[in-house]
Chain A
């Protein structure tokens, strides 16, 4: 009997890592437009014009992957129950060393909120990105507003991504494996997603 349980299938994993790579490319190619300090990052792409082109391509890839991932997990992400509300009130038990026993489904309430935020933010970035794709195609006010929103959601996303990476790696040992090769340890599942674990273990 295996110590592991399947968590994400190959499709999820591939889409997730495509998303991650395109995110990094977006950050590197976009920072030069965000502030003078980062202008040199365009050098990674061979120049500002090439950087902007890379940003546009990576942006489309990112949007498509975001929509795919959200559609696949929409059912899980958008359903909140009493346990989720308890999780949110207790901040997921992340403020103390003690283990809070709050039964969670496949995704905990924080992951659900992050999933919904990611999708909404991807749409905002996609729409504003389309407006500023050719910065003189739309009206001045709309373009200016889109540039501002694009920057604002970049900042929000940067913060969200730091939290996401921290919690999915060193903050919660054993989590990353689920996204790397698709399986998590049963002990992990029992601790972090007991309701989901009961469901998948019960189906066996």
Chain B
């Protein structure tokens, strides 16, 4: 199956937050109680009850206020840090469409994915199980659009064949964020400024220590275990054990 992806054209977003509401409705997520912080942004970050969020970037420029909006969510990386660190096979996984979904029954509550994600997306809910945007994999599998995309009135959010979305954006002369990073992100952004302004890493990558842990230490462990066992066995049959040749004292003294 061809890989599917989201395309988020932030230049079209009016921050109506229909996507937030539609997501909550489809996934049956309750409302978070929040406080007024003097911004329309609400809640201020992803929560266990909020799988996608419109992040407001409010730049005070004297007379002017610059408003930038971005739909934050799981970016459905092909080379996903969360899937890489998850010890429970199948708890976090790629669907046939290339979305990163999860099976909460298999989640072992280790929280590794929270640290493994380069974008700080996975959250744990009250039952201490992983939650995040799963790209409405249940809807997508049945030929429907993800709830957020369905609800978006401005075509900020699009969903479809990844190659086709990229080709269309290119034809329209738009620069994409995430085309090649982490094996290609499943959420491509059209940004109006530098990625850093949107709190997105410029060159997102699997953290070095996670790479070292999973791709160096682990193979080293296999090598070390069998290597040490092999070396011990080889030593025993070649050099042999250090036996005690000297007789015991009592025998030595001839039964004194």
**Residues on A close to B: CB < 8 A?**
1, 3, 32-36, 39, 42, 48-49, 52, 93-97, 99, 134-136, 140-141, 143-145, 147-148, 151-152, 154-156, 158-159, 162-163, 166, 170-174, 185-188, 190-192
Contacts and interface: CB of A to CB of B under 8 A. Distances in A.
Interface in B15-73: none
Could you tell me the dominant secondary structure of chain A's interface residues? helix
B103 to A, nearest CB: 13
A36 B232 contact: no
A159 B231 CA distance: 10
Question: For this complex, into which size category does the number of interface residues on chain B fall?
Answer: 35 or more
A176 B36 CA distance: 69
A170 B241 contact: yes
A136 B212 contact: no
Interface centre among A33, A42, A134, A147 (most CB of B within 10 A): A147
A143 B81 CA distance: 14
B228 A96 contact: no
Interface of B: 85, 87-89, 108-112, 114-116, 120, 124, 207, 209-210, 212-213, 217-218, 220-221, 224-225, 227-229, 231-232, 235-236, 239-250
A87 B100 CA distance: 56
A136 B108 CA distance: 15
B212 A148 contact: yes
Nearest to B221: A155
Contacts of A172: 241-242
Interface centre among B111, B116, B241 (most CB of A within 10 A): B241
Pairs of residues from A and B, 8 with the lowest C-beta to C-beta distance, nearest first: A48-B108, A135-B111, A162-B228, A148-B213, A166-B232, A148-B209, A155-B221, A187-B246
